Chains A and B, each alone.
Chain A
Amino acid sequence: MPLSSLIGGTVETAINKLLRLSSNSDSALDALAGHVVHIKLNEYKKPLFFYINNRRVEVLGRYEGDVSVVLTLGIDTLIALKNKHNISELIKSDQLIIDGDTKVLQQFADLITELDIDWAQHLSSYTGDVLAHRLTTRAKNISSVIKEQSTNSKKALADYLKHEAKLAISPLEFVHFSDQIDSLSQQVERLAQQVSQLERSQ
């Protein structure tokens, strides 16, 4: 019980902190005022209710009033929601189940995904403009270096698995292997037919 309270509390604090820092969320919050979004995550058995009011989001573990929309989805789908064009596809493939007002869902997704936070601006009130600019530029550089590194290391790992450890295979090998399986399955088929013919002739 306190664990779910801890999760709810952490999510609530994080969302509200981000919303306060973001410059464009007030109108979205006003549009959602009074609405409750119920999220059921496949990975986490406890429900989460997002109650929006007074330009704040309250996160509750239980709620007995009216809910505007219920979402059932996995954490990966939650991240995929970031791209709005995905929504209909996710619904078709049953990764996202929506019950209720889709307009509220749309507004809620907008609220969460369209945060516009000027980190340099907020940082400058603590550090001064020059340092804030340097720090945010540095942070951007570091994040792009990390991204590049992670792509590189993924590639290196793939190469290692394919050519040195021979644990993984190249696409061409895979095609060849598939061909072999096909011919094998044809042979099995033929053999089966022969067996059934023999059985009948007996």
Chain B
Amino acid sequence: MSSNENQTTHFGYEQVKLEEKATKVAEVFHSVAAKYDIMNDLMSFGVHRLWKRFAIDCSGVRPGQKVLDLAGGTGDLTAKFSRIVGKEGQVILADINDSMLKVGRDKLRDLGVVSNVQYVQANAQALPFPENTFDLITIAFGLRNVTDKDEALRSMYRVLKPGGRLLVLEFSKPSNEMLSKAYDVYSFNLLPTMGKMIANDSESYKYLAESIRMHPDQETLKGMMDTAGFDQTQYYNLTGGIVALHRGYKY
């Protein structure tokens, strides 16, 4: 995955020291937290809501269950899960970045989602929960930014209950050549410009586009989930593979 005997890793297209990546990613998200929601809507033309909705449909979540929304950012999935699991259930919104967590907490309070949601600042590679805790773990648009993805997947497997499932919603590789070209033009030219105009931060959005290209494609990620121990792993391509939803079970 990197050169120099694993001492460096990728940060977008740059090579950075392993221990620097988390800090660099944190800078990006501190910078974009306040405008995160509006940028998501603009950049994806609102389609990110549909991707998330599809993930919820695949989650099989029921009243009374315990859900971990990892890298939950501004709480889109948490809000929905909180309503579905009800009073007996529990949702934990975890993010490594406290700026994102704060924005998420304020937003959910405004929506009136309070009683069954807890907020935890946590690193996906070392989840601070006992084994076999959750019925469902979701990580939406977060795995890309984790330094050691294999370790993160193993950590998720550990805290998942037997019978529980993991959903990974993440940018992936478009399956169609034409779409792929158009998508490249869009993300390398338009995206940073939009980022500059709206969030006054083109660098963060340049990182976004580059980090998407560095993320493992559908089959590779499926293989990584298998290696981490997950069973019945499968993926669904959404919007022509621009985004993929991976699902795996722990038995």
User: Which residues of A does B touch, CB under 8 Å?
Assistant: 1-2, 5-6, 8-9, 34, 51, 53-54, 56, 58, 60-65
Contacts and interface: CB of A to CB of B under 8 A. Distances in A.
Interface in B110-127: 112
Contacts of B50: 2, 5-6, 9
Interface in B38-67: 47, 49-51, 53-54, 56-58, 60, 62-63
Q: Categorize the interface residue count of chain B.
A: 20 to 34
23 contacts: A1-B54, A1-B236, A1-B238, A2-B47, A2-B50, A2-B54, A2-B238, A2-B239, A5-B57, A6-B50, A8-B57, A9-B50, A34-B63, A53-B83, A53-B86, A54-B83, A56-B83, A58-B84, A61-B53, A61-B57, A62-B58, A63-B62, A64-B62
Contacts of A51: 83-84
Contacts of B57: 5, 8, 60-62
A53 to B, nearest CB: 6
Nearest to B65: A65
Interface of B: 47, 49-51, 53-54, 56-58, 60, 62-63, 80, 83-84, 86, 112, 236, 238-239
A33 to B, nearest CB: 9
A6 B62 CA distance: 22
A126 to B, nearest CB: 21
B183 to A, nearest CB: 16
B63 A58 contact: no
A9 B49 contact: yes
Query: Which of B57, B80, B84, B238 has the most chain A CB atoms inside 10 A of its CB?
Result: B57
Contacts of A60: 56-57
A125 B203 CA distance: 42
A58 B80 contact: yes
Contacts of A9: 49-50, 53
Contacts of B47: 2
